[in-house]
């Protein structure tokens, strides 16, 4: 994954476009300028490469993933709404990720029933449509409203076509102590616990960036309110107030 050349392209020489340049090329491309479209694609190949690197532990051929990612980039170019106050990269990254995930699902070794696949593909189409509309990744609740099915059914369908993960895949390593997936598997797991966890994630996704930062520092990194206030540059009293408001939002959203 660290090769300089991928699919015959020297990635060290790929251009980087500024947001203003992207918008100008988008306008020209929409007007039928083929050269502008080509420049726009080449100017965003680094974005595709960065997304492909997220899948480096899947054992997939990087060239294949890069080509699939380019398909997602082209779809983003074709469907990006320039009237929205959203950066192109903010819209393009989920599109590229979605295209790669779809490719991995299509070649998954796990057999899934046709009904589950149909539900999953409807949900994925709804997710793409909402991503284009909102300029961000939609929540499970928003997807289920479009699909018209219960949240639990949509979640199960989407999870059923996710690539299997080895129980011996490392998820954390500190010094010589490695934590594997099997270390985090509960011996009393249930579908309801799993759905509750997804509901919590959905609720957390509705928080502002600052609230997410505070919750992450306080409850995932174990920092005190004083330490958090020093890190993000606000008073301890503000941290306390924002933390309480965020927890209230999460509680009401579950």
Report DSSP letters for 88-123, one per residue: HHHHHHHHHHHHHHHHHHHT-SS---HHHHHHHHHH
The b/e string for 44-71 (b: 16+ C-beta within 10 A; e otherwise) is bbebbbebbeebeeeebebeebbebbbb
Residues 164 and 209 both lie in one domain? no
The strand pair at 5-6 and 9-10 is best described as antiparallel
Instruction: Report whether pLDDT(4) > 80.
Output: no
Mean of pLDDT values over 174-186: 55
Residues 86 and 118 both lie in one domain? no
- Residue 248: CB partners within 8 Å, gap ≥ 6? none
Quick check: is 181 in a domain?
no
Domains contained in the chain, number: 3
Question: What is the rounded average pLDDT for all residues in the chain?
Answer: 79
Paired strand residues for 5: 10
Quick check: is 179 in a domain?
no
Of 222, 215, 225, 220, whose CA–CA distance to 253 is shortest? 215
Quick check: is 155 in a domain?
yes
Residues 19 and 94 both lie in one domain? yes
Residues 166 and 242 both lie in one domain? no
Residues 222 and 203 both lie in one domain? yes
Quick check: is 224 in a domain?
yes
Quick check: is 180 in a domain?
no
Residues 45 and 144 both lie in one domain? no
Residues 17 and 71 both lie in one domain? yes
Whole-model pTM over 0.85: no
pLDDT at 237: 86
pLDDT at 183: 55
pLDDT tens, position by position, 14-27: 888 888 899 999 99
Tell which of 90, 107, 124 closes a domain. 107
CATH number at residue 132: 1.10.10.10
Output DSSP code: residue 56: G
Angle between helices 62-79 and 88-106 (to 10 degrees): 130
Residues 102 and 4 both lie in one domain? yes
Instruction: Report whether pLDDT(186) > 60.
Output: no
Residues 87 and 129 both lie in one domain? no
Tell which of 83, 107, 131 closes a domain. 107
Instruction: Report whether pLDDT(198) > 60.
Output: no
Residue where the block lists tokens 């996710």: 162
Range of the domain at 146: 114-174
Mean of pLDDT values over 129-152: 86
Instruction: Report whether pLDDT(3) > 60.
Output: no
Residues 31 and 87 both lie in one domain? yes
CATH number at residue 77: 1.20.120.1810
Q: Please indicate whether residue 174 or residue 221 has the higher confidence score (pLDDT).
A: 221
pLDDT at 71: 92
Tell which of 50, 83, 107 closes a domain. 107
Tell me the C-alpha distance between 138 and 153, whole Å: 17
């Amino acid at each position: 994954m660290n090769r300089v050349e991928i699919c015959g392209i020297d990635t060290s020489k790929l251009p980087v476009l500024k947001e203003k340049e992207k918008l100008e090329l988008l306008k020209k491309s929409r007007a039928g300028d083929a050269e502008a479209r080509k420049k726009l694609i080449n100017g965003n190949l680094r974005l595709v490469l960065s997304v492909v690197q997220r899948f480096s532990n899947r054992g997939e051929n990087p060239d294949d993933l890069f080509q699939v990612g380019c398909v997602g980039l082209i779809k983003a170019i074709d469907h990006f709404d320039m009237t929205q106050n959203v950066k192109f990269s903010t819209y393009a990254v989920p599109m590229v990720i979605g295209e790669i995930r779809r490719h991995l699902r299509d070649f998954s070794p796990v057999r899934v029933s046709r009904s589950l696949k149909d539900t999953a593909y409807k949900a994925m189409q709804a997710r793409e449509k909402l991503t284009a509309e909102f300029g961000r990744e939609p929540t499970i609740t928003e997807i289920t409203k479009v699909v018209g099915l219960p949240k639990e059914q949509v979640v199960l369908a989407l999870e059923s076509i996710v690539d299997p993960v080895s129980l011996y895949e490392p998820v954390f390593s500190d010094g010589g102590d490695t934590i594997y997936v099997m270390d985090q598997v509960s011996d009393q797991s249930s579908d309801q616990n799993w759905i509750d966890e997804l509901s919590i994630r959905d609720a957390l996704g509705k928080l502002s960036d600052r609230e997410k930062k505070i919750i992450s520092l306080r409850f995932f990194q174990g920092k005190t309110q004083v330490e958090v206030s020093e890190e993000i540059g606000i008073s301890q009293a503000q941290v306390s107030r924002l933390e309480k408001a965020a927890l209230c939002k999460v509680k009401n959203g579950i």
